[in-house]
């Protein structure tokens, strides 16, 4: 699927790519509604419906990923609530072996995530996967999500790479579309970003289940 002789730089998403998306889905769809219902004395189903309407309205924007925005909007300490279920944060299978193999081949490894810096710090603290990476970048640094072309322009200035010799791996098709528009040649998606959810059939881009399928 991948000719590693054609790749110098590997850009990697975090949630749903290097880390199991189950933690994030559980937090936003189960834990937060439960704690919201407790805090405001409302029915949990009503809390879920209200939160999902709020979240859907901001999907794909920087606010969607911003813990400070949601803390202010909901009147709750989202960072503290995320700590309550941090035991669910997990590295996906074969990730460490994959990163080690790429390091051995002198590939440049850059994590690019829409995750808020507070969430990013928590996940790095628990997983320590940053030890295998040359650079870790949150899109909040550029004030633009990966969905925006400005993000890629800012990234390219900070971390120069040849788009024709770069592989970008992400679990979100709209973000891969944005990378494709920018000119990144090698694009890869994930079939099952959340280990507790059903397998998706990705047709827009080449896709894998786990990194052992593309191990150098």
What is the C-alpha separation between 12 and 113, in angstroms, rounded? Answer: 8
Average pLDDT along the chain: 96
pLDDT for 98: 98
What stretch of H or E contains 111?
Answer: strand 108-113
Same domain for 102 and 198? yes
* Residue 66 C-beta-side C-alpha neighbours within 13 Å: 18
Same domain for 137 and 202? yes
Per residue in 154-182, is it b (16+ CB within 10 Å) or e — as a string?
bbbeeeebebeebbbbbbbbebbebbeeb
Q: Which of 47, 69, 87 is the last residue of a domain?
A: 87
pLDDT for 196: 96
Same domain for 165 and 137? yes
pLDDT for 59: 84
Same domain for 70 and 118? no
The count of domains in the chain is 2
Least confident residue range of 4-13, 57-66, 192-201: 57-66
pLDDT for 192: 97
Has residue 65 got a pLDDT over 90?
no
Region 81-95: mean pLDDT is: 97
Model confidence band, residue 212 (pLDDT cutoffs 50, 70, 90): very high
Has residue 38 got a pLDDT over 90?
yes
Region 168-175: mean pLDDT is: 97
CATH for 177: 3.40.50.1000
Same domain for 139 and 202? yes
Q: In what order do the strands lie in the sheet with 166-169?
A: 135-138, 108-113, 9-12, 166-169, 186-190, 207-208
Same domain for 56 and 138? no
Same domain for 9 and 97? yes
Q: Which of 87, 106, 125 is the last residue of a domain?
A: 87
Has residue 55 got a pLDDT over 90?
no
Region 44-68: mean pLDDT is: 90
Same domain for 125 and 204? yes
Same domain for 104 and 197? yes
Range of the domain at 15: 4-20+89-214
Same domain for 60 and 119? no
Q: Which of 87, 110, 131 is the last residue of a domain?
A: 87
Same domain for 134 and 155? yes
Same domain for 82 and 172? no
């Amino acid at each position: 699927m991948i000719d590693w002789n054609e790749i110098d730089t590997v850009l990697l998403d975090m949630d749903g790519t290097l880390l199991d998306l189950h933690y994030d889905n559980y937090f936003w769809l189960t834990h937060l509604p439960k704690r919201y219902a407790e805090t405001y004395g409302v029915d949990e189903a009503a809390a879920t419906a209200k939160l999902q309407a709020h979240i859907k309205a901001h999907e794909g924007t920087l606010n969607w990923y911003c813990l400070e925005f949601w803390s202010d909007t909901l009147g709750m300490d989202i960072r503290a609530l995320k700590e309550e279920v941090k035991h669910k944060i997990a590295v996906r299978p074969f990730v460490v072996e994959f990163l080690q193999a790429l390091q051995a081949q002198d590939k440049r490894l850059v994590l690019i995530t829409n995750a808020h810096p507070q969430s990013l710090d928590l996940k790095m603290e628990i997983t320590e996967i940053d030890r295998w990476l040359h650079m870790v970048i949150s899109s909040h640094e550029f004030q633009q999500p990966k969905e925006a072309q400005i993000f890629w322009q800012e990234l390219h200035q900070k971390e120069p790479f040849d788009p024709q010799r770069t592989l970008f791996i992400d679990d979100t098709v709209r973000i891969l579309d944005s990378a494709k528009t920018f000119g990144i040649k090698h694009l890869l998606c994930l079939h099952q970003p959340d280990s507790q959810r059903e397998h998706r059939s990705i047709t827009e881009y080449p896709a894998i289940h786990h990194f052992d399928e593309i191990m150098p």
